[in-house]
Structure formats: C-alpha cells, structure tokens
C-alpha cells in the first residue's frame, strides 16, 4: 500500500517530517512546523560551515599573504588589472626605436610580421597581449 498523498504518520516539526512530506508529495506548511525545522537546520549547517572555513581556510589565506577568495565564495583578483590605456608606466605602448635596446627587465617588444602597426614595447605580459592583439587586428590584407 502506497503512502503517497497521506498526511497520517508524518513526524511534524522535524527535518525528518519534511522529508516525509517530500516523499509523500504532501505540501509542508508553516502550521505543521516542518518548514521552520528545515530552515533552522540549514542555518545551523551554514553557520558550522562558516566557522569551519573561517578558522581553517582564512588562516591559510592570511598565512600565504594573499586574499583571492572572498567570503561569498566568488573568486576575485587581489589587485585591479588595468588596461594598457590606463597603464601607470609612462612609456608602455610607445613605438620602439633602435635606441630602446636593451629593454628594461620584464618589458616586452611586440613585433607582428605583416602588421601595419609599428614595433612597440610594453611593460608586462598583459599589456603585451593587448599590443599583440592590436597588431593582429591591423594586419595588412593582401589582394
């Protein structure tokens, strides 16, 4: 005999009762107390997880000296990455002449064969990637 649809025998006011409501396809209501019990159980579980993560993972991030994962669990960069147009280096993206060799440490010289864009120097990998993309967009089209 199936218990689907039967309200008799449900342990109201408990999380087990909520499971019985779900299995029997009988809607749980505020009056029976099952919804409140589930909310409280979920809140307690979330609080335990926050305490666990706050002491263990938070200490690891502090010990490593970086702050990459925020409290909401979403990854965020620990610093703002600026576009080359907003790069703080004054010479980043300037045309490279013969007098720019050798380049400062960490700087990149971008040359794309067949591009109408002149040879340029960039201060870092992200700025250089922007320069390569720009040079590739300005490729000379042969007819």
Please give the structure tokens belonging to residue 82: 């600026």
Q: What is the mean pLDDT of the chain?
A: 76
Q: What are phi and psi of 28, to 5 degrees?
A: -85, 140
Instruction: Give the pLDDT mean for 30-56.
Output: 82
Instruction: Give the pLDDT mean for 20-44.
Output: 88
Q: pLDDT band for 69, please (50, 70, 90 cuts).
A: very low
Alpha helices by DSSP H, the chain: 15-24, 34-64, 125-137
Question: Which tens digit of pLDDT belongs to each residue from 89-133?
Answer: 878 888 887 665 788 888 888 888 888 888 888 887 788 888 888
Contact yes or no for 84/128 (Cβ under 8 A): no
Helix (H) or strand (E) holding 120, with range, is strand 120-122
Is residue 10 predicted with pLDDT exceeding 60? Answer: yes
Q: Is the pTM of this model over 0.75?
A: no
């Amino acid at each position: 005999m199936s218990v689907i649809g039967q309200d008799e025998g449900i342990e109201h006011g408990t999380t087990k009762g909520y499971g019985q409501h779900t299995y029997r396809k009988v809607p749980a209501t505020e009056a029976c107390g099952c919804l409140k019990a589930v909310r409280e159980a979920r809140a307690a579980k979330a609080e335990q997880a926050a305490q666990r993560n706050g002491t263990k993972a938070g200490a690891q991030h502090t010990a490593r000296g970086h702050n990459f994962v925020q409290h909401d669990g979403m990854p965020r960069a620990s610093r703002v990455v600026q576009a080359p147009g907003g790069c703080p280096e004054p010479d980043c993206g300037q045309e490279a002449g013969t007098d720019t060799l050798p380049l400062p440490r960490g700087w990149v010289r971008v040359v794309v064969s067949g591009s109408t864009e002149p040879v340029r120097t960039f201060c870092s990998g992200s700025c250089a990637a922007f320069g390569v993309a720009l040079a590739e967009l300005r490729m000379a089209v042969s007819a």
